[in-house]
Amino acid sequence: KPLLGSTMALFGSGMSYGHSHGNANLPLVLAGGSDLGLKHGKHLDFNQGHFKGYQLDKPGEHYSLCSRPANPNAYMSNLLLMMAQRMGVETDKFGESNKVVEL
């Protein structure tokens, strides 16, 4: 079996916009884990339906997008909880998680 199938690699940043140190609406990429039940090949935007689009033509609009969550129920800890469970950790909670991300 390929090593990547039993490995998960999460790439991203703890800041969505470094200038203001915004930590909301983080761009993340998850790779691997096919042998752990992960299904890839899609883009998931957990903010869809929770905001009126990326209106970046307005001065300063990017600050509001990066400083508070567009979707208050989309926690990065939900993704980390799912990853821990797929690695065999028996837990129902990780940080502020409120559900397990379905991939």
> What is the number of structural domains in the chain?
1
Is 59:76 a contact under the CB 8 Å cutoff? no
99 part of a folded domain: no
Is 70 within the bounds of a domain? yes
What pLDDT digit, counting tens, does each position of 74-100 carry?
Answer: 888 999 999 999 999 999 999 999 999
Query: pLDDT tens for residues 3-58?
Result: 889 999 999 988 777 766 777 788 899 999 999 999 888 888 887 777 776 667 77
| Inside any domain, residue 40 | yes
Residue 92 Cα distances to 4, 74, 82, 85, angstroms: 25, 16, 9, 8
Q: What is the pTM of this model?
A: 0.79
Q: What is the pLDDT of residues 47-56, one digit of tens each?
A: 777 777 666 7
